[in-house]
Amino acid sequence: MRANPWLETIRSGGTAIGGWISNSSTINAEVMGTAGFDYVVIDTQHGAIDYSGMLPMLQVLSIGASTPMVRVPSCDLGHIGKALDAGARAVIVPMVNDRASCEQALSFTRYAPDGERSYGPTRAVLVEGDDYFDFAGDQISVIPMIETREAMNNVDDILSAPGIEAIYVGPNDLSISLGIKPNTTDPRLDEAMLEIVAGCRRHGVVPGVHASAALCDKRMDQGFGMITVRQSGSGNPWVPGSNATSEPAGTGPSSAGCLPPELIDVTTMVSRFGPAKAGIEGLCTGSSTRRSSFPVGVMRTTDQPYTHATQ
C-alpha cells in the first residue's frame, strides 16, 4: 500500500494537519490534495456530496500525497464499505455514543474474522496495490466522532475500544447536546473539549478537531493531535469571507472546500509544509509570506510555485 502521512504522523507523536471539502468539486479536491496536508476529508454527511461526487474526488486526491478520508453519513456497513472500496484510507463516523456503536463502526472497516466488511475494493486495490488485503487491517482507520453528552458520559468506554487510534470532536452537535447554541463562544464547550482530550490521554488516543488558523496554537496546546484548518472569520462556510453569523473560529468545517472553483487561484497554492509545531506556528501567526485571501492560510513565497506533490 502507499504511504499514509496521517497515520504515520499520529503514530509517531506528531500533529497532523488536514483540509476539509464540503462540495462536489474535483478542482477543489485537486487544490486541497496537493497543498501539503497530512490528510484531506471529503464530507458526505453534511457536505453536498454523494457517491457519484465522492469517487472522482478520491481519484483526484491520489495526485497528491495526503491521506484521503471520508466522513460518512452514519455508522452504516454500506456507507463505510463504499467509501473504503472507492479508496478512502479512513472514515470519520458521526454520532458514536457508546462502545457498542464504536466497535460496530470498527467492524465495518475490518475483514473477517476481525469484522464484517465485504471484500470488493474495486478502486482501492488499483490505487493501493495487490497487497491491499494484507495491510488493510493495519492501514485502514475508523475515527469515531464524540459529539454528544451521551458520548462524553461513555468516553472511557469508547476510547478503550481496541483498534481506535483517533477520535474527532464535533463542536456544534456537542454544543447543542450540552444546551449551548451552536456557533457561539461558551466556556462550557472548551471545558467539554478538554475533558475529551484528557480521556484521550488516558487511553493513548489522538483527539481531532476543526480549528481556524488563529486557533491552531490553542487547540494544539490543549492537546489536539489532528487539526483540520479552516478559514478565519467565516460565519457561513458556503460563502467565502462571510461573517453572517457569530460562529467562533474553529467550530465548522473548512470553507476552503466550499469555494467555487472559479474563486480559487491554483497558482497561489504551495509546496508541502510539515506537521511539526514550527510549521503550524508559521501557518497561524500571520506570516508575511501568507496570502490573506487564501482560505486555509497555507504559506507561499514567490520562489515556491504550485507543484503536484506525488509519492
Residues with a known catalytic role: 46
Place of cell 490553542: 218
| Backbone dihedral region for residue 278 (phi beyond 0: left; psi -120 to 50: alpha; all else: beta) | alpha
**CA 201/CA 207 separation, integer angstroms:** 9
Query: What is d(CA 145, CA 94) in angstroms, rounded to the nearest whole number?
Result: 5
Exposed / middle / buried, residue 238 (Cβ in 10 Å: 0-12, 13-18, 19+): middle
Phi, psi of 129 (to 5 degrees): 110, 170
Residue 181 buriedness (CB in 10 A; 0-12 / 13-18 / 19+): exposed
Q: How far apart are CA 296 and CA 38, in angstroms?
A: 14
Which residues neighbour 134 within 8 Å (Cβ) at sequence distance 6 or greater? none
Nearest to 21 by CA among 271, 254, 198: 254
* Cα–Cα dist 204/163, whole Å: 11
